[in-house]
Amino acid sequence: MSRRIPLPFAALLLAAAPLSAQQAPAANGWDPQQVLRTETFVKPPANIERMIMAPRVDISFTNPSPDARWFLRTSGADRGDIKAYGAPHIWLGGLQIDTRANRARSVTTSTRTGIVLVDPRTGAERKIAAPAGTTISSPVWSPRGTHVAYLVNFPTASYVHVLDVANGRSTRLSERPLLATLVTDVDFTADGRHVVAVLVPANRSAAPVLGGDGVADGPDVRLTESRAVPQPVHFSLLANPHEKRLLQYHTTGQVVLIDVRTRALKTVGAPAMVRNVDASHDGQFLRVTRMTEPFSYLVPVSSFGGVQELWDASGKVVATLARTPLRESGRDGGDAAPAVAAASDTGKRNMQWNPIGPGLLYVQNVPAPAAPATPPANGRSGAEGGPSARAGAAPVQVRAPRGQVVVWKAPYGPNDTTVLYRGGPQLGTVLFSLDSSTMFVSDSGAVIAVRVNNPTERWNLGRNVSLPVTITAFGGAGFGGGRSSSDSTAGTLVSRKVGNATYVVLGTDGKQVALTGTRAPGANWYKQAPRPWLDRMDITTKVRTRLMDSPADVYEEFMAPLDRDLQQFIVTRENRTTITDAWLRTASSTEAKQLTKNVDVGPEVSGAQFRRFQVTRPRDGTKYWVEVTLPRDWKP
């Protein structure tokens, strides 16, 4: 496996010449001392500039359409322009805001200027360019794969656009710009009819100013409360009431639903400091997380409090789903561990929209039924019999709480729930198969497969088998096809994202799932690469069939399935002398088709010599290993 060296380190590796070279700076035409004296931007040595600025070949196949017919990539420069990075912006408690364009600075510095749809089976491509002078960001597929929504970033504003995949036409959905400071993306409702976005509020007032004529109208105040408040050092914190007002102003946006076909815009509720928004399948309800006051001078915005609410289509709060307090370390126990054990916590967790029907889906622990009272051996109660009687009493039976998967339907009252699954107290992630026939639940260290229409029909897939990590603050999902961090032979179930939900890839027979994992080389780690693998497993018998196994001399990693039965899938390959490329594989076959032709832009780095040898420390005879990376043309 080739060693990936980060570019900054590569630059140092190449720039660090031997002492003789440092004494003769004219040899490479780059004098570090003279560079420092100029006190201005300069170009690095030619070999470093070549490696940094050379275009990269995009080998990613990580953003598939729901049917895996197309994979979406974005095109553009690999390195941003200094004018974009240096564009005016302010810092507010760790949040960088381009105030001119009402967005996070990370959106302003996007270098993507087009969308490319790639068919890995045929090599066909469809290219859609952004308007001149703009960049794009955050593309997302519609649930049926007919459209792609994305941000188009002009110098002074960002707008939501939608691409029609069939004809390649792109349309701006709203003339009002996005407020992309906290929410930097958009999404579709599960029926694909609407795009959910946060816009700049209509009739927005002018931004707050600092006192009269830019002079502060009060002092900066800090309260120690006569006790120490241990704090880590943060790069950026709010400094005064003016910055608090600025934060509130630049993060207050209007939640809207935009009709993809008619472009009709429907506002939902009043403007608020929205951190996340997630609409139900039909757009009639939304989960909204708002940032809440009080703000803090001690911690950045990421530690500020919030509330997650369920809104109806008018913006009325139907239910409060969760509250997160302001987390100030050392004050009010904000970061302290909870006093109640996780198994005893009866709060709703891992909440998401039910991907196979209406309503919300969540996991919850419920107290176990009380154990029946057992009389003491002498027939007397402990209170009557004193210490001797208590000593002879039967031990108290403690029953652990039980976990359950619950569907909560409109109108979201306390009795509008249905239990789908009952298990142990350590229930975690819940996913469904693409055909909605099977539910997969992580329960007490194992994954359980359960038939939705007959919950008594269930199979334990084994301990250490895992589900892809897909639950975030809003149940957001990743592709989950491979790249498992698990280093075991058990494996992670292969999944696919469809719309705003993630599903386990279950074969057309309703019994076959795919798992991917990696075998570690153990003691041979220094001369043998890790070995990823891909299996197909029958959930009823747990019998496995190996579909892909990386050889010892090549690092081959599973990337994405192209069909439910995994007859075809995409992998990446690399070895000690060949950099990474994507390949199309056929199951249980050595047949492969190269999809990309990558170019090694830094042979000086990839060709470096790696030496490992043992040395003995003279003073005490201790032996240890030393690893050295040397230039490719180095000779003893």
Helices marked H in 565-632 — which ranges?
603-606
User: In this structure, are 28 and 107 located in the same domain?
Assistant: no
Query: How do 454-463 and 446-451 pair as beta strands?
Result: antiparallel
Domain boundary among 328, 355, 376: 328
Encoded tokens for 486: 């698990």
Task: Give the CATH number of the domain where residue 316 resides.
Answer: 2.130.10
pLDDT digits (tens, 9 = 90+) for 381-403: 444 444 444 555 555 555 667 89
Q: What is the pTM of this model?
A: 0.83
- Is residue 540 one of the residues assigned to a domain? yes
Q: How far apart are CA 327 and CA 459, in angstroms?
A: 41
- Position 263 scores a pLDDT of 96
CA-wise closest residue to 92 among 100, 101, 104: 104
Q: Is the confidence at residue 601, as pLDDT, over 80?
A: yes
CA-wise closest residue to 448 among 428, 470, 434: 428
Q: What average pLDDT does the segment 592-615 reach?
A: 89
Q: Is the confidence at residue 4, as pLDDT, over 50?
A: no
- Is residue 470 one of the residues assigned to a domain? yes
User: In this structure, are 512 and 425 located in the same domain?
Assistant: yes
pLDDT digits (tens, 9 = 90+) for 557-595: 999 999 999 999 999 999 888 889 999 999 878 789 999
Q: What average pLDDT does the segment 597-611 reach?
A: 88
Q: How far apart are CA 220 and CA 239, in angstroms?
A: 7
CA-wise closest residue to 63 among 501, 596, 560, 581: 560
Query: Into how many domains does the chain fold?
Result: 3
- Position 376 scores a pLDDT of 58
User: In this structure, are 90 and 200 located in the same domain?
Assistant: yes
Q: What average pLDDT does the segment 240-261 reach?
A: 96
Identify residue 585 by its one-letter amino acid code: R
Rounded to the nearest integer, the mean pLDDT of the chain is 84
Q: Is the confidence at residue 380, as pLDDT, over 80?
A: no
CA-wise closest residue to 584 among 601, 600, 565, 562: 562
Q: Is the confidence at residue 265, as pLDDT, over 90?
A: yes
Q: How far apart are CA 212 and CA 215, in angstroms?
A: 5
- Is residue 126 one of the residues assigned to a domain? yes
Backbone angles phi, psi at 391, to 5 degrees: -65, -30
User: In this structure, are 143 and 181 located in the same domain?
Assistant: yes
Encoded tokens for 512: 């076959």
SS3 of residue 350 by DSSP: strand
pLDDT digits (tens, 9 = 90+) for 54-70: 888 889 899 999 988 99
| C-alpha angle 531-537-542 in degrees, rounded to nearest 5 | 115
Q: Is the confidence at residue 462, as pLDDT, over 70?
A: yes
- Is residue 294 one of the residues assigned to a domain? yes
pLDDT digits (tens, 9 = 90+) for 421-448: 998 888 888 999 999 999 999 988 899 9
User: In this structure, are 567 and 535 located in the same domain?
Assistant: yes
Cis? peptide before 561, omega within 30° of 0: no
- Position 247 scores a pLDDT of 98
162, 173 Cβ separation under 8 angstroms: yes
The owner of tokens 């990269």 is: 56
Q: What average pLDDT does the segment 348-363 reach?
A: 91
Query: How do 495-498 and 492-493 pair as beta strands?
Result: unpaired
Q: Is the confidence at residue 107, as pLDDT, over 90?
A: yes
Q: What average pLDDT does the segment 271-295 reach?
A: 95
CA-wise closest residue to 453 among 441, 436, 434: 436
59, 116 Cβ separation under 8 angstroms: no
Give burial (CB, 10 Å; 0-12/13-18/19+) of 268.
buried
- Is residue 398 one of the residues assigned to a domain? no
Identify residue 413 by its one-letter amino acid code: G
User: In this structure, are 197 and 305 located in the same domain?
Assistant: yes
Q: How far apart are CA 476 and CA 497, in angstroms?
A: 10
User: In this structure, are 156 and 260 located in the same domain?
Assistant: yes
User: In this structure, are 38 and 119 located in the same domain?
Assistant: no
Q: Is the confidence at residue 170, as pLDDT, over 80?
A: yes
- Position 590 scores a pLDDT of 78
User: In this structure, are 523 and 568 located in the same domain?
Assistant: yes
- Residue 470: pLDDT band (50, 70, 90) is low
Q: Is the confidence at residue 411, as pLDDT, over 70?
A: yes
pLDDT digits (tens, 9 = 90+) for 214-239: 788 788 888 777 767 677 888 899 99
Domain boundary among 328, 360, 394: 328
In order, the DSSP letters of 587-600 are: TTS--EEE------
User: In this structure, are 26 and 83 located in the same domain?
Assistant: no
In order, the DSSP letters of 391-440 are: HHSPPPP----EEEEEEE-TT--TT-EEEEEEE-TTEEEEEEETTSSEEE
User: In this structure, are 38 and 81 located in the same domain?
Assistant: no
- Is residue 220 one of the residues assigned to a domain? no
- Position 384 scores a pLDDT of 44
- Is residue 372 one of the residues assigned to a domain? no
Domain boundary among 328, 361, 384: 328
- Position 445 scores a pLDDT of 85
CB atoms within 10 A of CB 120: 24
51, 605 Cβ separation under 8 angstroms: yes
- Position 40 scores a pLDDT of 86
pLDDT digits (tens, 9 = 90+) for 302-345: 999 999 999 999 999 999 999 999 998 654 444 433 433 355 67
Residue 94 belongs to domain spanning: 71-209+234-328
152 against 384, higher pLDDT = 152
Q: What average pLDDT does the segment 236-264 reach?
A: 96
195, 258 Cβ separation under 8 angstroms: yes
331 against 253, higher pLDDT = 253
DSSP H or E run through 388: helix 382-392
User: In this structure, are 115 and 45 located in the same domain?
Assistant: no
Q: How far apart are CA 496 and CA 478, in angstroms?
A: 8
DSSP H or E run through 449: strand 446-451
- Is residue 240 one of the residues assigned to a domain? yes
Q: What average pLDDT does the segment 256-277 reach?
A: 96
